[in-house]
Amino acid sequence: MNSKQFVAKLAQDNEALFKASELNVEAYFASNPSQEQLVEHFVGRMVNERMNMVEIANKVANAPADTSVETLALLSKQALDEANHFRMVKEVIEHITGEKLDVEAAIQAEADNPTAKGAALLEKYEAQNDPLALAAYQFIAEGRAERVWDKMAECIQDEFISTTYAKIARDEGFHSNIGRRALELLATDEETQARIEQIARTMRMDLFAVSCMNTTATAEAKKLMAVDY
């Protein structure tokens, strides 16, 4: 199959992960978490956005001289989006607590007692040095993020938080399309496609583990993953 067909198949194969993640998010917010639990949850998401910002900015800073100007522009836009998401989630936390957040202290607390974060997979898969891993992460993880942020926006009654998260979701969809574009450029032969498939299979399971750890692991979501993967 050509690269576009291959990536279209990858997108279909991602659906079970995305749906399972949505189910876990719904269950988490249906459990009526306390303000303290919400703040802890959102601090983890804030730090995750910062981690994404740093990783993508480093990718731009260390890009080879032959990197296309289109790719540099897209990655630079993503780094700026992640910086804005970092700020936006900080503002959500301050909206919940009614107090100014000590960002340095929050980041340190998260470092001392880390929650599950998808951005940690960038290091696990050595995405800084592996274009295939980075493209797969953008396509799969950012695609999942779009669905998760959208689902959070639906589940949260507070209009400020809901509107903020819907905006983040739209950006995550854009980031996933950056990954789609990269995969369509890279996945032009069977060997490369086979390697991307291998990365995708393990990455989906890693991302589901993140979902189960930072929301509510549901039996329905686990069954969906088991049947499809």
Q: pLDDT tens digit string along 168-199?
A: 999 999 999 999 999 999 999 999 999 999 99
Distance (Å, whole) CA 15 – CA 228: 9
Please, which residues have CB within 8 angstroms of residue 225's CB and are 6 or more apart in sequence?
16, 17, 20, 205, 208
Containing structural domain, residue 54: 3-228
Residues 17-49 pLDDT 10s: 999 999 999 999 999 999 999 999 999 999 999
* pLDDT the model gives residue 127: 77
CB 85 within 8 A of CB 47: no
pTM: 0.92
Tally the domains of the chain. 1
| Distance set, CA 28 to CA 101, 107, 205 (Å) | 24, 23, 19
Of 42-46, 114-118, 218-222, minimum mean pLDDT range? 114-118
Enter the tokens of residue 145: 């993020």
If we measure between CA atoms, which residue out of 83, 23, 32, 40 comes closest to residue 208? 23
- CATH assignment of the domain containing 193: 1.20.910.10
